[in-house]
A and B are shown apart, each in its own frame.
Chain A
């Protein structure tokens, strides 16, 4: 029997989802649903379910929009953030959440990612980052580590990878964070803060793809891949308590950059107000 959460926030008629056994995407989708549920039930400052819009592009990650029972729009490959920009501009009260993947948001849609970050348009982008193109069967993506194998990198990947969270920070994102599948509770809290954040927020969530990335690179099954995350991805507080030596090869799970730059639609509303005032004179 599906849990109450599933009944509440998923479109039961459209389940089971299409992801492969062991895929991390279902966990991330669950984290998003829990985060939204907790925000809806936040007694002090609750958000309205009907104000949530889920926007996705194309790829494994992007199927999540169809399963989550909110306003949802499943767009074209790479363009989810651009569609989301139009939705947010048209109706700034909406919480516009983009569910995307490493290929969707940093390869074909990379331009939209950096420019939405630069504008500080109030979107929340959650990247299901599995280091591979899963939907098309295992080609290397912009986050596939150098030297790793993929169907289009049979001799090892020559490319050097993006760190998407740092990319967003570099592009001026006012909120950039990293989560993963193993640290679900931490990731849920990060997603909540990202949705609450007024400006542009990005959460780069490390997923796992045992079927294509894992198998090609001898990373073991889903359990072994999760164990790797447990050992090597470290929540912020613990990370900073570790010695320099122990940090080698590890990555932080948590908020990487945060500031309160003015949000784009609020700034634009000021322009509208000043134009109207000038007209009344």
Chain B
């Protein structure tokens, strides 16, 4: 039997990343993500990997993309202000199709905000932070164990779809310690980018066969010369001034995620089978929601929990499947209503969607949620 160890969410993310094969980390200290950099500095050289503390977050994400292009599984970790600084190169990673993982341990903003306080205010930024239309995959863990297991999946998706993946943590989960049983690394499923070595038939470095969306990656600096650019480019990797080729490229980049949404999106549901009210939440907020749902159930109320684990793309199909049985939805998140917009879009006005949010840096408690459930219950009866 695996031994239970006491571990912090931030540390568990590092151990999971190492298990996934991460061997390069570049970062810049920022609360509340700093323990991730510290753990990488300690652990990476032990595994033959490399850590570098860069001069800022702009450099951190750039070094990560460089290292990944050169063949290493790479990641960085930051929080709100640093995440803002990284946005331009996250778009570069999407455009040039360089896999990597960016951990954002969210804290209360905007600006310097409340550096040590929890928040989920970067949800929309994870999707829309960089300019232009681009594919986005973001995953959000709710427990310390999930910091480990889900970041393995983050790397797998990054490698499979050749795109940056956002690992959207929050202060609640990042700074929490729990006893966890670490999975046996030999039993984890680990994906690696599909490589094409000297395949004489097609020298094009971004060649995508008909019906496929992801080009195999040529190793950079290992014997086969090619060009990588953030400019709109053709399959040879060189910039083009052709609206047709540019349009085809951007559409394919978006399709990588949109056409594989079933492979990418995951949700967790609790007590949803006969639920008439769904409390929707993600990340650290789940902890209070679970206690509230357990209390409501103990009180005989038909309340369930619906949690997107994949927060981008939003798992609309899974939520739509629950709509016929539901009478109302309560969205609970530590922001002013961000995932709420996705829920409202999905529901399309067919159900009342209530909202409980928090932007003062304090944590929403189970009793806050129970009070809101009672309040919305009264309202829907009145309707």
Asked if chains A and B are in direct contact (CB within 8 A), the reply is yes
Contact A79:B221 (CB < 8 A) given known A65-B227, A272-B45, A272-B48: no
Residue A53, interface by CB 8 Å? yes
Contact A94:B67 (CB < 8 A) given known A79-B58, A89-B52: no
Task: Mark contacts of B205-233 with chain A using CB atoms, 8 A cut-off: 1 yes-contact digit, 0 otherwise.
Answer: 00000000000000011111111111100
Residue in contact with B50 in the complex, picked from A11, A89, A279, CB distance below 8 Å: A89
> How many angstroms between the C-alpha atoms of A74 and B227 in the bound complex?
8
Residue A131, interface by CB 8 Å? no
Which of A53, A83, A272 counts the most chain B CB atoms within 10 A? Answer: A83
B71: chain A residues at CB < 8 Å are: 90-91
> How many angstroms between the C-alpha atoms of A76 and B227 in the bound complex?
14
Tell me whether A89 and B67 are in contact (CB under 8 A): yes
Residue B144, interface by CB 8 Å? no
Q: Report the count of interface residues on B (CB-CB < 8 A).
A: 44
- Looking at chain B's contact residues, is the secondary structure mostly helix, strand, loop, or mixed? mixed
Tell me whether A75 and B92 are in contact (CB under 8 A): yes
Tell me whether B55 and A75 are in contact (CB under 8 A): no
B65: chain A residues at CB < 8 Å are: 75, 83, 86
> How many angstroms between the C-alpha atoms of A55 and B69 in the bound complex?
12
Residue in contact with A275 in the complex, picked from B45, B66, B224, B230, CB distance below 8 Å: B45
Residue A199, interface by CB 8 Å? no
Residue B355, interface by CB 8 Å? no
Residue A14, interface by CB 8 Å? yes
Contact A74:B229 (CB < 8 A) given known A111-B59, A279-B46: yes
B59: chain A residues at CB < 8 Å are: 79, 82, 85, 111-112, 115
Tell me whether A85 and B227 are in contact (CB under 8 A): no
Q: How far is the CB of B18 from chain A (nearest CB, A)?
A: 13
Q: Which residues B44-82 have CB closer than 8 A to chain A? A: 45-46, 48-50, 52, 54-56, 58-60, 62-72, 74
Residue A43, interface by CB 8 Å? no
Which of A70, A84, A91, A112 counts the most chain B CB atoms within 10 A? Answer: A91
Residue B89, interface by CB 8 Å? yes
Contact A276:B46 (CB < 8 A) given known A66-B238, A79-B58: yes
Which of B52, B65, B70, B72 counts the most chain A CB atoms within 10 A? Answer: B70
A74: chain B residues at CB < 8 Å are: 227-231, 239
Residue in contact with A90 in the complex, picked from B60, B66, B89, CB distance below 8 Å: B66
Residue in contact with A84 in the complex, picked from B54, B66, B226, CB distance below 8 Å: B66
Q: Which residues A46-71 have CB closer than 8 A to chain B? A: 50-51, 53, 55, 65-66, 69-71
Residue B24, interface by CB 8 Å? yes
Q: How far is the CB of B383 from chain A (nearest CB, A)?
A: 52
Residue A78, interface by CB 8 Å? yes
Contact A83:B63 (CB < 8 A) given known A89-B24, A90-B50, A276-B48: yes
Residue A72, interface by CB 8 Å? yes
Residue A153, interface by CB 8 Å? no
> How many angstroms between the C-alpha atoms of A65 and B92 in the bound complex?
17
Q: Which residues B320-334 have CB closer than 8 A to chain A? A: none
B223: chain A residues at CB < 8 Å are: 50
CB closest chain-B residue, reference A115? B55
> How many angstroms between the C-alpha atoms of A69 and B54 in the bound complex?
30
A6: chain B residues at CB < 8 Å are: none
Q: Which residues A76-128 have CB closer than 8 A to chain B? A: 76, 78-79, 82-91, 94, 111-112, 115
Q: How far is the CB of A92 from chain B (nearest CB, A)?
A: 9
> How many angstroms between the C-alpha atoms of A275 and B41 in the bound complex?
12
CB closest chain-B residue, reference A268? B50
CB closest chain-A residue, reference B230? A76
Tell me whether B229 and A94 are in contact (CB under 8 A): no
B69: chain A residues at CB < 8 Å are: 73, 83, 86-87
> How many angstroms between the C-alpha atoms of A51 and B67 in the bound complex?
15
> How many angstroms between the C-alpha atoms of A76 and B239 in the bound complex?
14
Contact A75:B62 (CB < 8 A) given known A66-B239, A87-B67, A90-B70: yes
Residue B291, interface by CB 8 Å? no
Residue in contact with A85 in the complex, picked from B52, B68, B226, B229, CB distance below 8 Å: B52
A279: chain B residues at CB < 8 Å are: 46
CB closest chain-B residue, reference A62? B229
Q: How far is the CB of B206 from chain A (nearest CB, A)?
A: 14
> How many angstroms between the C-alpha atoms of A76 and B74 in the bound complex?
19
> How many angstroms between the C-alpha atoms of A198 and B71 in the bound complex?
22
Q: Which residues A183-234 have CB closer than 8 A to chain B? A: none
Tell me whether B54 and A85 are in contact (CB under 8 A): yes
B66: chain A residues at CB < 8 Å are: 55, 73, 82-90
Q: How far is the CB of B1 from chain A (nearest CB, A)?
A: 25
> How many angstroms between the C-alpha atoms of A271 and B40 in the bound complex?
14
> How many angstroms between the C-alpha atoms of A115 and B45 in the bound complex?
22
Residue B354, interface by CB 8 Å? no
Residue B26, interface by CB 8 Å? yes
A90: chain B residues at CB < 8 Å are: 24, 50, 66-68, 70-72, 74
Tell me whether B225 and A71 are in contact (CB under 8 A): yes
Q: How far is the CB of A47 from chain B (nearest CB, A)?
A: 13
A87: chain B residues at CB < 8 Å are: 66-67, 69-70, 220-221
Residue in contact with A66 in the complex, picked from B55, B96, B227, CB distance below 8 Å: B227
Residue in contact with B54 in the complex, picked from A66, A88, A115, CB distance below 8 Å: A115
> How many angstroms between the C-alpha atoms of A82 and B106 in the bound complex?
24
Tell me whether B26 and A86 are in contact (CB under 8 A): yes
Q: How far is the CB of A52 from chain B (nearest CB, A)?
A: 8
Tell me whether B67 and A73 are in contact (CB under 8 A): no
B-to-A contact residues, CB < 8 Å: 24, 26, 45-46, 48-50, 52, 54-56, 58-60, 62-72, 74, 88-89, 92, 96, 220-231, 238-239
Return 13 A-B CB contacts under 8 Å, by A number: A50-B224, A66-B227, A74-B227, A76-B92, A82-B63, A83-B69, A85-B26, A86-B24, A87-B66, A87-B67, A87-B69, A94-B221, A115-B55
Q: Pick the 7 closest A-B CB pairs, nearest first.
A: A86-B66, A86-B63, A82-B62, A86-B67, A90-B70, A82-B59, A83-B66
